[in-house]
Amino acid sequence: MADVHSKETRSYNMSRIKGKNTKPELLVRKFLHKNGFRYRLHVKDMHGKPDIVLPKYKTVIFIHGCFWHGHEGCRYYVVPKTRTEWWLNKINTNINNDLQYGKALELRGWKVLVVWECDLKGVDKAGFLTSIIAALKNNEEKPI
């Protein structure tokens, strides 16, 4: 099946897809800030440039798009019918990079949380966001 867009239109559409400051990322950032958490964004000298870095909690949060990071079993992850081999190679490279970055950060003592785009679209969005805070507070160091 041929693409419904011209090559130029498809190229333009793909160029408009953001890698930073996406809607799911902004949603998590606003929720954390509203609840008193302070963080850094896209720290370049950390493996994988995590979307959110919480130094106080020694935790990083990656917010993954279901399609781009191959979220298995998710309705938002559908392999395109055209150029399937190219897309699978791209998505599998993203998955492998995600695993490598996560392991590298964990070896350095960081806790790695992954938030999927679909987790923020459900009915229980508030419950999921609250679970992120619970995960952060469970990791909090207690004063001696």
- Judge whether residue 13 has pLDDT over 90: no
User: What pLDDT shows up at residue 9?
Assistant: 84
Q: How far is CA 93 from the centre of its chain?
A: 15
Q: Is residue 76 part of a domain?
A: yes
Mean of pLDDT values over 63-91: 92
Q: Give the domain CATH number at 26.
A: 3.40.960.10
Q: Is residue 93 part of a domain?
A: yes
Beta-strand runs (E) in 11-129: 40-41, 52-54, 59-64, 111-116
Name the phi and psi angles at 117, rounded to 5: -50, -40
pLDDT tens across 113-123, in order? 999 999 998 77
Instruction: Report the number of distinct structural domains present in the chain.
Output: 1
pLDDT tens across 15-50, in order? 777 778 889 999 999 999 999 999 999 999 999 999
Full domain range(s) for residue 37: 18-139
> To which residue do tokens 């867009």 refer?
5
